[in-house]
Amino acid sequence: MLSDMLRMGRSIFMCSLPPFVYGAARLYGPPVFIYHRVDPRLFEEDLKYLIANDYVFLDDMHLRAVLLGEEPFTGREAALTFDDGYDDLLDTVEPLLRSYGAVATAFIAPGLIGHPGYLGWEDLRRLSLSGTVGIGTHSYRHAKVFVSGILEQFHVPADIREETVVLCNGLDTLLSLDGRYGRPLYHAASRLGDSPRYLEDERLTALCVECAAATGAQPGSEAWMQELYSLCRSYKKSYGDGGRLETPREQEEAVAAELVRARSVLEEKLDRRVASLCLPWNEGGDLVRRLCPSAGYKACFAGYMHGNRSNSPGTDPYSICRLSGDFVRTLPGRGRVGLVSILAGKAGRRVLSS
């Protein structure tokens, strides 16, 4: 969440968001808005604004058709997308979309289906049959992997931070399911990013876990951490870094497998074609976009894309940019809200929720 806020702030400051956000009178291409969980009142206000100003809603494949010039861009098209597959999609989002005659696309990570707070398979099937929400993939498990040997911290009990979704090397499972307290945690990034995976030194990991269990210090305390840091320094001084980066071939095979698995599982469970991908954390680059066509995808969505601010006709459908749903009411139209007011409202809501 903090990384998203920093990325948004940097994009606003560098003027890398679509021109309409800064007050431009017209659109140069269909904007695509990102939602996760929604506040029903605020989301309905967004829908009312779009309807009142004659905007046409595009799903993923109609958006692709506009970018390819197969359908016209009139300056009044927009797309709504929902990431992750939270459980309010069926009981809040879909009824509101239906009541306003709108459509959207939900990007689902099949490995998260059925987890607390997420849709189950039966609810996702109902959503996919609604006619209002199209389905795309959000990778298989929305996971990160270690991408360097830079030690950042050690896994502690009840660690509920974002790092709990990092894939553990060797075991290839989620950190939250690994249970090895005291294991080293290295710098991590999205599995679908351009950085190759760092395959950790499993011997060092095992020694850290043993040390964490044997020490009398409180797990997570400064003394506990310092003992583990001291162990790592001594080990690397004696044996060097026993980890390595995966080879380009290993990386390509792993990313391709992630893409294919996500799509094939959704298609099998939902009995429908799935043809679009949204990159987790909006992280991805040349590799994932190059692999998308052979993995069966026709479009790839991200966040703030260098060189693409507006999704103008002719844009590569594997480089679709998106921005937060907070900016819907900065679109040209009656009742338009300025950027300063949007940011002030967003800051206020964060203060109230903290």
What pLDDT is recorded for position 345? 76
What pLDDT is recorded for position 163? 47
What pLDDT is recorded for position 149? 93
pTM of the model: 0.90
Alpha-carbon distances of 15 from 23, 133, 273, 328, rounded to whole Å: 12, 31, 37, 17
Homologous superfamily (CATH) for 2-141+253-353: Glycoside hydrolase/deacetylase (3.20.20.370)
Average of pLDDT values for 221-234?
94
Compute the distance between CA of residue 259 and CA of residue 328 in angstroms, rounded to an integer: 30
Residue 71 phi/psi, 5-degree rounding, is -135, 150
For the chain, what's the residue count? 354
pLDDT band at 216 (very low <50, low <70, confident <90, very high): confident
Residue for token pair 């992997």: 145
| Residue in 239, 289, 310 with CA at minimum distance from that of residue 79 | 310
Please list, in sequence order, all residues whose beta carbon lies within 8 angstroms of the beta carbon of residue 335, skipping any fewer than 6 positions away: 49, 52, 53, 329
Q: Is a pLDDT exceeding 70 seen at residue 325?
A: yes
Average of pLDDT values for 322-333?
95
Residue 110 phi/psi, 5-degree rounding, is -60, -25
Exposure class string for 118-152: b at 16+ Cβ within 10 A, else e: bbeeebbbebbebebbbbbbbbbbbbbbbbbbebe
Residues 14-51 have pLDDT tens digits of: 567 899 999 999 999 999 999 999 999 999 999 999 99
What pLDDT is recorded for position 120? 97
Domain ranges of the chain: 2-141+253-353, 144-190+201-242
What is the DSSP code (8-state) at residue 114?
T
What pLDDT is recorded for position 219? 85
Exposure class string for 219-230: b at 16+ Cβ within 10 A, else e: bbeeebbebbee
Residues 104-150 have pLDDT tens digits of: 999 999 999 998 899 999 999 999 999 999 999 999 988 889 999 99
